[in-house]
Chains A and B, each alone.
Chain A
C-alpha cells in the first residue's frame, strides 16, 4: 500500500490504476482503556493527539468525535490565519501557530494550502490610524511582523475596495501582516488526522460523550454511545460546547456560546489577493482558490447553540461588505453557515486544568480558533503529557480569572466581539 503523498508516488500509482492508495486513516473500534482520550475531533483535538504522539511519545491515544472530523468550527470558519495581536502573551501564542502553519504541509505530508497572501486591517479616520500605529508597535514588540500602509498603498494592494471621497468610511490606511493568510480548513483537519493515525492514534468518529465517569474526584472514563471508554487523562477540545461537558463534570467556565456566521459567494475571477478587514464596517473578505469570496463579520448578539445564524447580523455584515467593496453588490451568495464559538470575557483562550482531576481543557478561542490550531494542539499536548504548562500557554491558564491577570484582547486589538 502506498502511504506517502508525493509526485513520484502519484506517477507510480498511475501505472497501477491508483489502486494502491491506503485510506488516510483507520476507523477502529474503541478499546476499553486508553492512556489519553481527547474529546473532540476538530482541528485542536486532532493536532493535540498528533503532537502528543509525535513530541511526547504517548502511544495510547484515542480521539472521540460525536460527528465526523472537522464537522464543528474547523469546517465552519473563514480560514484566516494571523498573529496580529496586542499583548506579548498573545503574540507569542498566535505567532507560534503561524510558524507551525508555515511548515505544516511538509510536517504532515499533506498540502494544507497555507497561502501567506497578507492580511490587511483597514482604518477609516486619523484617530483610528493613531490607534493602528500603537497596535502595530505592540505587534512588533511582541515579535510579530506588521507594516503601516498609507491610503495609496492600500489602493495598490486592493483596488477592489471603496476609495470614493463620499464613501461612508473613507480609507485612511492599513496595517498589514504579510505572513498572514489562509489555509484549506478541511485539509488541516485531515492532515492532522492522517498524521496522528500513522502514529497509532485511534480516531473514533460518531462517538458522542454522553456523560463522564468520575471516581473519588478523578475523571476515569467517558460514557459514550459506543459504551464506556476509560483513560487516565482526558483533554477536551470542544469549543462552543465546552460548557456542556463542564456541566456533566461539575465545573463552570467563563464562557458564553454564540453563533458566528460566515458566507461564501459564487466563484469569481480573482478580484482581491489579500485578506481585507474593517472593524468599522464590521466585516472582512478574502477570496478562496476556487474564486469564492469568503466573508465574515461579528458575532450574533444572542447567546446560542443553534448552528444557524440570525438575520440582523447577516444584514450588518453584508451591508458592510457592499460599502467596503461596492463592486460586489450584485454578487450572489452561494452558501452561508454558522459555528458555535466559545467566547471568554477577555477574548483569550483557556488552556489548563478543568478543576476535575485528570481532565484538562483547551477552549475559549472564540472567533479565532482555526488560526490557533497548531499552537493549541502543540501547547495542549505539552500540558497533557507533562501535567504542567509550556511557558507560552501559562498566561492562558483559567486561574487568570481569579488573579485578575486578564489578557484582554477584546479591548486591546479592537476585536468587535
Chain B
C-alpha cells in the first residue's frame, strides 16, 4: 500500500485519495467567445505524461484539494502543496 502526503493530515493510505485532474489548466474565459475546440481542450484533453507529473488530488476524509508532484512510472511522490492560501 502506498501512502500519499496530504498537506493537512500527513501521510495517509492511497485509498483515501482521489485523482481530480492535471494541474495547470485554466478554465476558458466565458466573458469572451469560447470555441468548441477550446472547451473540448479544457474539458477533455490531457498531457497524460509518462514520468514526472503535477496533478490535483483530493484527500477524501478532509476534503482538501492539493497539488501533488509524482512520477507516473516509478509512482514516487516528490511533493504535495496546498492550494488554499492562508488567511492574512
Among residues 48 to 74 in chain B, which have CB atoms less than 8 Å away from a CB atom of chain A? Answer: 48-51, 53, 55, 72-74
The DSSP consensus for interface residues of chain B is: mixed
Asked if A311 CB lies within 8 Å of chain B CBs, one says yes
**Minimal Cβ-Cβ distance residue in B for A246:** B48
Among residues 221 to 255 in chain A, which have CB atoms less than 8 Å away from a CB atom of chain B? Answer: 241, 243-244, 246-247, 252-255
Given known pairs A256-B48, A401-B40, the reply for A310 and B74 (CB within 8 Å) is no
- Does B36 lie within 8 Å of A303, measured CB to CB? no
Contact with A along B16-48 (1 / 0, CB 8 A): 001100000000000000001101110111111
- Does B46 lie within 8 Å of A255, measured CB to CB? yes
- Does A345 lie within 8 Å of B44, measured CB to CB? yes
- Does A247 lie within 8 Å of B49, measured CB to CB? yes
How long is the Cα–Cα vector from A401 to B35 in the complex, in angstroms? 12
How long is the Cα–Cα vector from A256 to B48 in the complex, in angstroms? 6
Given known pairs A301-B18, A310-B14, A402-B36, the reply for A257 and B72 (CB within 8 Å) is yes
Asked if A217 CB lies within 8 Å of chain B CBs, one says no
**Minimal Cβ-Cβ distance residue in B for A403:** B36
Question: Count of B residues near A, CB < 8 Å?
Answer: 27
The answer, among A257, A310, A401, for a CB contact under 8 Å with B48, is A257
Asked if B82 CB lies within 8 Å of chain A CBs, one says no
A342 to chain B, nearest CB (A): 8
Asked if A411 CB lies within 8 Å of chain B CBs, one says no
List residues of chain A with CB within 8 A of the CB of B37: 402
- Does A310 lie within 8 Å of B2, measured CB to CB? yes
List residues of chain B with CB within 8 A of the CB of A255: 46, 48
Contact with B along A303-339 (1 / 0, CB 8 A): 1111000111000000000000000000000000000
Asked if A302 CB lies within 8 Å of chain B CBs, one says yes
The answer, among B1, B45, B55, B72, for a CB contact under 8 Å with A254, is B45
Among residues 293 to 307 in chain A, which have CB atoms less than 8 Å away from a CB atom of chain B? Answer: 301-306
The DSSP consensus for interface residues of chain A is: mixed
- Does B48 lie within 8 Å of A303, measured CB to CB? yes
B64 to chain A, nearest CB (A): 18
Given known pairs A306-B72, A306-B74, the reply for A312 and B15 (CB within 8 Å) is yes
- Does A254 lie within 8 Å of B49, measured CB to CB? no
The answer, among A241, A310, A345, A402, for a CB contact under 8 Å with B50, is A241
The answer, among A246, A302, A306, for a CB contact under 8 Å with B19, is A302
Which residues of A are in contact with B by a Cβ distance under 8 Å?
241, 243-244, 246-247, 252-257, 301-306, 310-312, 345, 401-404
Which residues of B are in contact with A by a Cβ distance under 8 Å?
1-2, 13-15, 18-19, 36-37, 39-41, 43-51, 53, 55, 72-75
**What are 19 A-B pairs with beta-carbon distances under 8 A?**
A243-B47, A243-B49, A243-B50, A252-B41, A252-B46, A252-B47, A253-B45, A255-B46, A255-B48, A301-B14, A301-B18, A302-B2, A302-B14, A303-B55, A305-B51, A345-B43, A401-B40, A402-B39, A402-B40
